[in-house]
Structure 1
């Protein structure tokens, strides 16, 4: 009887965890769309689910063909590490090729609860210059010496490229895919989204600053590194310390006001 009750509690906890991940991933798609960071039906945000009953790896991805602002917690597709469909409420399948990079990162980096890939004008612009992101301001200083790079090899359909992407990424959470876009890893969906939005602001600010034709002020090493460590401590307080995340809570309230259907 005791074992049965314990089993029910575990199942309930897993069910609640899955529901929260589905909600957060749907929110991520909606927020990226709201920020103008989506690219039609292309690019993806994936989230790791608790392992299945037989230990199988499970992930969530958007249904094929839906815009980011059409993704909801209910229509997210459950897939395995190969992109094969396990559960598909919407019935359109997924873009398995689009999961190529994500699957490699998830399987190599067990800290990656969420993998977020974007093609934004500012992000592609910064990924297309040799210098990459410069520490010009508080936003960009958080990424100082914390960005990995991967050279462009064409549209990412080559399975062999996955190994090179993982090797280039190393232990970092942020990568500039040269001439392509950005890749971000979060220990939670919330962290991935916050990193993505801050990186996008940083890229936009650099494009604007350098576009003025004046002399940019690059932060010195010690100031940039200090700022980056301050950001890291804040992120760690949520992801490791268990502190409530008021920024993510605010973003969910934002969606509840303008796109409440994401929860359903």
Structure 2
């Protein structure tokens, strides 16, 4: 298959971000852009996107707030190559590291992600339960979507290790796994803020977005949920602005003031 047939060039953030990605296999979509819109950053922050794929979430954050020191971490070398291409094509400075987030800590340290060195981590870990979801025959897609009992703990441990005290982790996960997320974040994180994401108004949440602070002590907050598909004739202005890259979600309300939630 030639390159033109193997990849598509897709527009995100209302066309301000263009990404090359595989036509088949793992593709960036709503989850990545929602994660980006929920991630509060400040200029000069050191920001790491774990499991970056083709770079959608991390590059969307950097397209919104300039001056970041951005690192994209991806286990698959082909996706990492696409992330490197996408960063250059969008004129967004970014380091791209090929590394297993759940592997040995020394690998991340050796790649420049030393302990207590990062201001913000965002991540979209594999979260489908193999006991309830059929594994994709595409190995890249399966790697990106399927988790096991250790996946979440390993990714959160990696984030906790590299974050500075007071640094922020933002992640997206399936809504029925909220208990797993809260348990994993109970070790070393606090000041949790949880935002349920519903597909349709009146139906159970399908995703949760979570913001946690390393060493934070504030009590858990659960925000009013948002719906991707609002009632007919009633567009969700918050979602529309987030998907267009013109606004953030309620997890990042103080970004313009340069505040770090604690």
TM-score band, normalised by the shorter chain?
Answer: 0.3 to 0.5
Higher normalized strand content (fraction of residues): 2
TM-score, normalised relative to structure 1: 0.33
Higher normalized helix content (fraction of residues): 1
